[in-house]
Chain A
Amino acid sequence: MNTLTDRYLAATLRSVPAQRRDEIASELRASIDDMIEGRTDGGQDATTAERAVLTELGNPDVLAARYADRRLQLIGPTYYLVWLRLLKLLLSFIPALVGTIVAVVDVAEGQGFGAIGSGIVVALHVAVHIGFWLTLTFAIIERSQQNVDLPDWTVDQLPDVPAHRDISLADTIASVVMLVVTIAYLPFQHYRSWVHDTDGDNIPVLDPTLWSFWLPALIVVLLGSLVFEIVKYRVGSWNWALFGTKALLNLAFSVPLVWLALSDRLLNPALGERLSWLAEADNRNLLGLAIAVGTAAIVVWDLIDTGLKTRRQTA
């Protein structure tokens, strides 16, 4: 026999616990026959009645789940919030941590800037693994019968009301990323620039003699700015002390840069050998002037903007 009813019973019983399968089978078959009979007595033909009854009973997997008292969800409301909090907590630092370690190890082994790529790939792998294994663990807990004792919520867990912020996290992250990229560029341009000499070796954009003092000094100032951004975020809004520090840091970076540009000590003289336009002193002076004016304009605009913000936020 392979009627629709047989197929329906087989589909339902497939996922019902084995020890009660036979009994459920007999009872369900009797119920289905009763329901079909109820319809044929009302004048329906047997085939239509069978289809209608089985449609009424619905998806056999759902019916089986009801018989077995099984939950039709991966992680239910009991564990969902704990799962979500753990997932956020683990994802917030482990992938970045592991990725950074891998990248640093690769750099130490001399892979250069390709190491950043492998660090990101490892971080993504770690994130996927965390998501998968954590979810699997919770799905198993959800299905195991014994209840896991979760600590009850108390009012002491309430977080502080977030302090009013005038400085957003997004702005801070953007500033930090910009600073990191700038710091990384200084050594990077020494090894990789778009200019090569006749032997195919790299010509640094900035004068290599600057490494004796000025470039390390500028890097220190940039690192100071990095710390400043974090402190500023912790403080939460502009005040005049922050404004003063910011002004000092800006000047400490821009004054040496402008001075080096104007005195034609910024760019690598070797560039002139490959780029004929730079070989002429007039052109080099013009470029230096452009860099100096551009830098000065950015600094002045930034100080005015910051000053206005500070006055508004301290008012």
Chain B
Amino acid sequence: MVSEDVLRTHLQELRRGTVVVASLVALRRPDYGYALLQRLTDHGFPVDANTLYPLLRRLEDQGLLTSEWNTEESRPRKFYRTSDEGESMLTRLLDDLAAVQTSITGLIQGVDR
């Protein structure tokens, strides 16, 4: 029986990088922090608020996201959108994710059980 703690640690490690990929994909349609959090959760990417909000800022600092304040609604919100730079990096990341999936599949098939 694998201990719950060990399992949780490995799942966390496995998921860590995918939050960035998921955010870059989701923000092809501009959105603000809380709405993005909800969309990611609905699509099977549960992420903590205290991780996502700082992450968005960091991706913006790296030039992968652009932002704009929207003041038309009930409260002013900062909308993020994936930049051209973010888009080209996303392509690379998705390629790599696919490569990982291919490698794993090949490995599973190649190993005699």
Bound together, the chains give a CA A23 to CA B54 distance in angstroms of 12
Residues of B29-73 whose CB lies within 8 A of A = 32-35, 38, 48-51, 53-54, 57-58
A interface size (C-beta, 8 A): 19
With a 10 A CB-CB cut-off, give which of A27, A33, A58, A69 has the most chain B CB atoms: A27
SS class of chain B's interface: helix, strand, loop or mixed? Answer: helix
Contacts of A23 in B (CB 8 A): 78
B106 contacts chain A at the CB level, 8 A cutoff: no
- A66–B51 Cα gap in the complex (Å)? 8
A-contact 0/1 string along B13-31, CB 8 Å cutoff:
0000000000000000000
Chain A contact residues: helix, strand, loop or mixed: helix
Interface flag for A31 (CB, 8 Å)? yes
Contact between chains at A26 and B76 (CB < 8 Å): yes
A30/B76 in contact, CB under 8 A = yes
Residue of A nearest to B38 (CB): A38
A30 touches B50 (CB 8 A): no
Whether a CB of chain B sits under 8 angstroms from the CB of A201 is no
A28 touches B53 (CB 8 A): yes
A window 244-302: CB within 8 A of B: none
* Min C-beta distance of B12 to chain A, whole Å: 16
Does A243 have its Cβ within 8 Å of any Cβ on chain B? no
Q: Are B78 and A27 in contact (CB under 8 A)?
A: yes
A49 to B33, CA, bound (A): 18
Residue of B nearest to A60 (CB): B50
Q: A24-B57, A26-B76, A69-B58 are in contact. Are A34 and B34 (CB under 8 A)?
A: yes
Residue ID in chain B nearest A58 by CB atoms:
B50
By a beta-carbon cutoff of 8 Å, the part of chain A in contact with chain B is: 23-24, 26-28, 30-31, 33-35, 38, 56-58, 62-63, 66-67, 69
Given contacts A28-B53, A30-B77, 18 further A-B contacts (CB under 8 A): A23-B78, A27-B53, A27-B78, A30-B32, A30-B75, A31-B32, A31-B33, A31-B34, A31-B49, A34-B75, A34-B77, A38-B34, A56-B48, A56-B50, A57-B49, A63-B50, A69-B54, A69-B58
